[in-house]
Amino acid sequence: MREELERIREWADAKIQGGEEPPWAWYQYMKLKETLDAILGGMAAVVTPTESSLQSAPRQGGHLRLVASTYPQDTAQPHHAGPSSIPLPM
């Protein structure tokens, strides 16, 4: 995948350097080149874990567990349901 993206970037760069493209196309090639640079840069920043690093890091607790709540559900203070003191538009 990386090689294909680099090849497309070189193609877009050749189109930009050629000077034969209309301004609107030149702008699109520049956007394509910048996007490819961002994607390739992101790919270079991602480190894929190797099997040795996966084996060296033990998994902690393999499953999710349900935890009981220690707070009762009816501890919230009731709110006053009377008329509002905020003037409403008529």
Whether 58 is covered by a domain: the verdict is: no
Whether 90 is covered by a domain: the verdict is: no
Residue 57 reports pLDDT greater than 60: no
**pLDDT tier, 73 (very low <50, low <70, confident <90, very high otherwise):** low
Which residues, 6+ apart, have CB-to-CB distance to 33 below 8 Å?
Answer: 9, 12, 13, 16
Whether 32 is covered by a domain: the verdict is: yes
Q: Per 3-state DSSP, what percentage of the chain is helix, strand, and coil (rounded to 5)?
A: 55, 0, 45
Tokens standing for residue 55: 């084996």
Residue 62 reports pLDDT greater than 90: no
Whether 51 is covered by a domain: the verdict is: no
pTM (two decimals):
0.49
Asked if 41 and 9 count as a contact pair (C-beta separation under 8 A), the reply is no
Number of domains into which the chain is organized? 1
pLDDT at 66: 72
Whether 28 is covered by a domain: the verdict is: yes
Whether 7 is covered by a domain: the verdict is: yes
- Say how far apart CA 64 and CA 71 lie, in whole Å: 21
Tens digit of pLDDT for each residue in 9-38?
A: 999 999 999 988 898 999 999 999 999 999
- Say how far apart CA 37 and CA 7 lie, in whole Å: 12
Domain that holds residue 11: 2-45
